[in-house]
Amino acid sequence: MWVSVLTSLVFLAGALALDCNGHSELCDRKYSNVSFIGAHNSPFVGILPSDNQLEDVEDQLNQGVRFLTAQTHDKDGAIQLCHTSCALLDVGTLQDFLGTVKTWLDGNSNEVVTLLITNGDAIDINKFGDAFKAVGLDAYAYSPGDTLTIDDWPTLGTLVSSNKRVVVFMDYHADTSKVGYILDEFQYYFETPFDTTDKNFPQCDLDRPSGASADGRMYIVNHNLDVDIFGILIPDLAEAPNTNSLSSILAQSDLCINNYRKDPNVVLLDFVSIGDGIEAQDNLNGL
């Protein structure tokens, strides 16, 4: 009998052991010390020159991608997911995208997902808050209260156990006094240059916010390649197997580590379903 009680206890302990983004090792790591592979322009799915991904957002999440960027534009007062302009590519409302993320988080209770939303049209931040509320995603959104230093971030385990499993950033026009969980991207991160056409990704310079210090910031590496077609830059699908290979991602990461003495927090990829993105993520996290 005691053996069976013991067996049950061991079983119970195993079942209760927390897993964070698929790895118990990540539970004790601060959010600011975790590396994520990101899907650049995650909702722009297809094979048009204005598309950046081949598989939809739910598939990206199922694949293990936990950092999604989404570009928004104002379309007659609605927040729409459009690439550069809604005349070029319009894939629907931000609210539908947020609903997809909410549904996925409902079904995957040990996962922390980050959204980086761009707001080039300076749409009122309260409207973004309304879209989160309409699908119930605001309930999952992590709100730090005060501005965090890089060492203040909670661990993934804390985010999972408190059920604050979506972290939200916006590039421009965030205002945490109005919507506390939509954080100012460039207060917390810097980014390397984007729209490169050099498939060797030969540098890891700080591009935005220009003139800022790398110290105290997390950082995002734009490891997505464009090809120049008569002066128009489009995502280079043909090169994606090379761009998204473990060796290409780690080669640029090594340049970054050399500059900043720490691993990238985010490596953004186009066509994330091609190549070794998740293997690179595990590698960067030392798993």
Active site residues: 40, 83
Two tokens at 186?
């460039």
Omega prior to 193 cis, within 30 of 0: no
Q: How many CB atoms lie within 10 A of CB 212?
A: 15
Q: How far is the CB of 78 from ligand NAG (least distance, A)?
A: 36
Q: How far is the CB of 263 from ligand NAG (least distance, A)?
A: 4
Q: How far is the CB of 35 from ligand NAG (least distance, A)?
A: 5
Alpha-helical segments (H) within the chain: 2-16, 57-63, 94-107, 125-135, 156-161, 185-188, 240-243, 246-260, 277-284
Q: Output 92 or 216, the one with its CB closest to ligand NAG.
A: 216
Give the helix, strand, coil percentages of the chain, each rounded to 5: 35, 25, 40
Q: Are 271 and 244 in contact (CB under 8 A)?
A: yes
Give contact residues for ligand NAG (rule: CB under 6 A).
33, 35, 262-263, 265
Q: Are 152 and 181 in contact (CB under 8 A)?
A: no
Q: Output 100 or 281, the one with its CB closest to ligand NAG.
A: 281
Q: Are 60 and 42 in contact (CB under 8 A)?
A: yes
Q: How far is the CB of 286 from ligand NAG (least distance, A)?
A: 8
Q: Output 50 or 158, the one with its CB closest to ligand NAG.
A: 158
- Residue 164 has φ and ψ, to the nearest 5°, of -100, 80
Q: How far is the CB of 59 from ligand NAG (least distance, A)?
A: 25
Q: Output 35 or 69, the one with its CB closest to ligand NAG.
A: 35
Q: Output 98 or 218, the one with its CB closest to ligand NAG.
A: 218
